[in-house]
Amino acid sequence: MTGRGMSPYYWVDGIEPKNDGNWIWYSNNKPIDSSLWLPGEPNDSGRQDFRTWGSWGSWGSCSVTCGSQGLRSRTRICDNPAPVGPGKPCPGADRQTEVCYPPQCPTCQVHNVPGATTSVSAARIYENEYVKYHCLPEHKLISGSLTRTCQANGTLTNEEPQCKKCCGTARYILNGYPDTSASLCYGDHVNYLCDRGYKSSNSTPIVCSSPYEWKYIPLPKCEPDGSCSISDVPVPDNGFASCSGNELDKVCYVRCDKGYNYMSDRSVFECGLQTGWGWKVRDKSGNYTTAENGECKGESSDDNDLFCFYVLFSSFDFASIYMILGRAVEKKMHLA
C-alpha cells in the first residue's frame, strides 16, 4: 500500500479515491468487484477496514459541583470514514478522563455558644454539613436549636441556641409560695408571697446564681402577722363581717345578706397575735384552726313557705285558726 495521486489508499492496482468504500482499478478507472477481494483485504464483501477515530466530544460535567477536585470525561467514535461493514476496531480507547477543579464550596461560620459544646472543631463547615450543640451540665436550652445545617447561601439553618445555667423551680415554704412555677435560670429571681394572715420575714428576691447554692439558699419565712385586718376575714359573696374589739383582740361574726343563709358552722373568727384570724373553736392542740370561707346561699322555697305560714298564723286569733283547721280535717275525712 502506497500513497500517490489523490487517493490515500492503494492496494496493488486498486484505489479508493473518495474514502467511501468504493474501490476502482487505478489503471482503467473501473470499479473493482468485491468478489475479487480475499478475506481480510480492504473491500471483501464491501467492508472498509481502514477506519480511524472521529473527533473527541466535549468534556462532561465535573463529578463534584464544588470542593478541591473531581473527574470529568469525554468520548470519541470510530467513524472516520463512516463504516460500510463491520470493519476493524480503531486502535486506542474511546474514553478520556481527567482531573477537574470545581469552584470552592460555600462555607458557614460556626460560632462558639456560651454554656455549650459543638460536634465540630473547625471554624467553618461546608454546604449540607451540620453542627450539633450540647448544653453543659446544669445548663438548659432556653431558645434556638441544637442542630444547624450549612446552606448554599453560606448561612446556617435555625436560630443559634442559648444554653443558660439553671437552678430549676423554686422551693415552697410553710404558709407561703413562690410567685412563679417556671424553671429559673442564671440571673432569674423569685419573690415569695405569704398566705392570708401571714407576713414574710424577708422580702428580698431570691436570685439564681448557682444550681448548687440554689438547693441550700435560705428562704424567707411566713410568720403570723397578728394584725387581723378586717379585709382578711373570709367573707363569702352576699355576706359581710360584723367585728368588735381592739386591734389585737378582735372577734368577727360572718353574716349573710337578706335572703341568704350562711352554710358553715364556722361563722365566728377570733384574732390572735401569733395566729392571725382563726376559727374561734380551738383544735385538739389548743390552736385556732385556719380561717376558711363559708358560703351564703339563697333561702329555699320551703323556708319561704314556713315564713308565710308563720305570718298567716300570727294574723288570726285562736278561734279562727281552730275553725280553719277543723274544716280542713273534715274535708280530708270526707274525701277519704
Same domain? 173 vs 215: yes
Are 130 and 190 within one domain? no
pLDDT in tens, 106-131: 889 998 999 999 999 889 998 889 99
How many domains is the chain built from? 4
Q: Is residue 113 part of a domain?
A: yes
Q: How far apart are CA 233 and CA 277, in angstroms?
A: 7
Q: Is residue 155 very low, low, confident or very high in pLDDT (cuts 50, 70, 90)?
A: very high
List all residues 6 or more positions away from 40 whose beta carbon is below 8 Å from its beta carbon: 49
pLDDT digits (tens, 9 = 90+) for 63-74: 988 878 999 999
What is the chain's length?
Answer: 336
For 318, the enclosing helix (H) or strand (E) is helix 318-335
Give yes or no: residues 286 and 244 share one domain: yes
Q: Examine the pLDDT at 259 and tell me if it is beyond 50.
A: yes
Q: What is the CATH number of the domain that holds 237?
A: 2.10.70.10
Paired with 50 in beta bridges are none
Residue 325 domain-assigned (yes or no)? yes
Q: Is the dihedral of CA 246, 249, 254, 255 positive or negative?
A: negative
What is this structure's pTM? 0.37
